DNA sequence: TGTTGCCTTCGACATATGTAGTAGAATGGC
DNA sequence: GCCATTCTACTACATATGTCGAAGGCAACA
């Protein structure tokens, strides 16, 4: 379930709240995105073909629903990144994260906090 | 500096050892990749156009050199993933990692350790 | 019932991406 | 010098992606 950049935009809006019409999605799209209504319809059609989104008619209007969970899509994208850019392993990614100056101190702190909380709640 | 999937393959081989000729790269490409020599040349030409790779002639043969570091390319890919699939923040990604159990307890521990070391050495 | 306004379906088109074949130049033997 | 090998530079082409515009259907309203 590989999504393209444009498709992610649509899916993000759809996951936010659904079912949704093309118009709903248009309104909820990221500010930076400014597509014509038909562009959104085209993306939706392609997503339906891909089985990433379900479509049902309500009167003359299509109502859409994600068929792929955000979690699943994220996993797939994450795996791709790992395979492509980090030798397919989490290790290199972890190193990268830790060493990368681009991660702000705040992000690092957040990372640590979450890891600690996780460790506790799962008794690891 | 956005690389396509095929370009990542080439860059990965080039980062491994460089400078390198197209032939060198061909030999070092991932087993799964099985491109014709000219396909590799095409990718290299495009990477040179993009300024991701430098090209110098040695006799009648081109020798290539990465102009973009692996670190930089990784950062760019990582940021793209974050923006596209994780609301642009590290938090959601970490949550995802923790919940998807993509990180083993060992990896989590390693990540924490690294973050702590970083924090100390930099007085953050 | 003609006018609006929103929806839908189709078709279109430029650019990006993946993958390679061909033809001609340069090189290293023999 | 001539041949086989190896490069390079071009060209090509299918499919994927990003972005619509046009034309026609239906519903509400003046």
Q: Which two tokens stand for residue B111?
A: 């990540």
Q: Band of the pLDDT at A101, cuts 50, 70, 90?
A: low
Proportion of chain A above pLDDT 90, given as a percent: 69
Q: Which nucleotide is nearest to B22 (CA to C1')?
A: D7
Chain A / chain B CB contacts < 8 angstroms: 105
CB proximity A38–strand D (7 Å threshold): yes
Tell me the average pLDDT across B24-50.
96
Q: Which two tokens stand for residue B41?
A: 């040349």
A84 in Cβ contact with B5 (< 8 Å): yes
Distance of alpha carbon B112 from alpha carbon B107, whole angstroms: 9
Is B56 in the A-facing interface, judged by CB distances under 8 Å? Answer: no
Three-state secondary-structure class, residue B61: strand
Would the pLDDT of B65 be above 80? yes
Strands lying side by side in the sheet with B20-21: B20-21, B61-66, B53-58
Q: Do A114 and B108 touch (CB under 8 A)?
A: no
Task: State the pLDDT at residue B123.
Answer: 43
Give me the residues paired with residue A58 across strands. Answer: A61
Task: State the pLDDT at residue B109.
Answer: 73
Residue with tokens 């100056």: A101
If you write DSSP's letter for every residue of A10-46 in order, what string do you get? HHHHHHHS-SEEHHHHHHHS-TT----HHHHHHHHHH
Q: Band of the pLDDT at B124, cuts 50, 70, 90?
A: very low
Give me the residues paired with residue A20 across strands. Answer: A64
If you write DSSP's letter for every residue of B13-38 in order, what string do you get? HHHHS-SEEHHHHHHHS-TT----HH
Tell which strand C nucleotides have any atom below 7 Å from a protein Cβ. Answer: 6-12, 16-22, 25-28
Question: Residue A61: enclosing H or E segment and its boundaries?
Answer: strand A61-66
Alpha helices in chain B (DSSP H): 5-16, 22-28, 37-49, 70-85, 90-100, 105-121
Q: Give Cα separations from A104 to A6, A108, A109, B70 (angstroms).
A: 28, 6, 9, 20
Q: How far is the alpha carbon of B84 from chain A, nearest alpha carbon, in Å?
A: 6
A77 in Cβ contact with A3 (< 8 Å): yes
Task: State the pLDDT at residue B103.
Answer: 66
Considering only residues B20 and A104, tell me which one the structure prediction assigns the higher pLDDT.
B20
Q: Band of the pLDDT at A123, cuts 50, 70, 90?
A: very low
Tell me the average pLDDT across A49-68.
97
Tens-digit pLDDT profile for residues B76-114: 999 999 999 999 988 888 788 777 765 667 767 776 776
């Amino acid at each position: 379930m590989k999504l393209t950049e444009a498709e992610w935009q649509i899916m993000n809006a759809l996951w936010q709240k659904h079912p949704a019409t093309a118009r709903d999605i248009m309104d909820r799209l990221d500010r930076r995105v400014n597509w014509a209504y038909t562009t959104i319809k085209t993306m939706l059609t392609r997503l339906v073909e891909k089985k990433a989104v379900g479509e049902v008619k309500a009167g003359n209007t299509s109502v859409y629903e994600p068929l792929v969970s955000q979690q699943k899509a994220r996993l797939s994208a994450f795996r791709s990144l790992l395979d492509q850019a980090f030798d397919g392993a989490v290790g290199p990614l972890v190193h990268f994260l830790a060493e990368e100056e681009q991660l702000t101190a705040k992000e690092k702190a957040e990372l640590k906090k979450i890891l600690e909380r996780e460790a506790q709640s799962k008794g690891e």
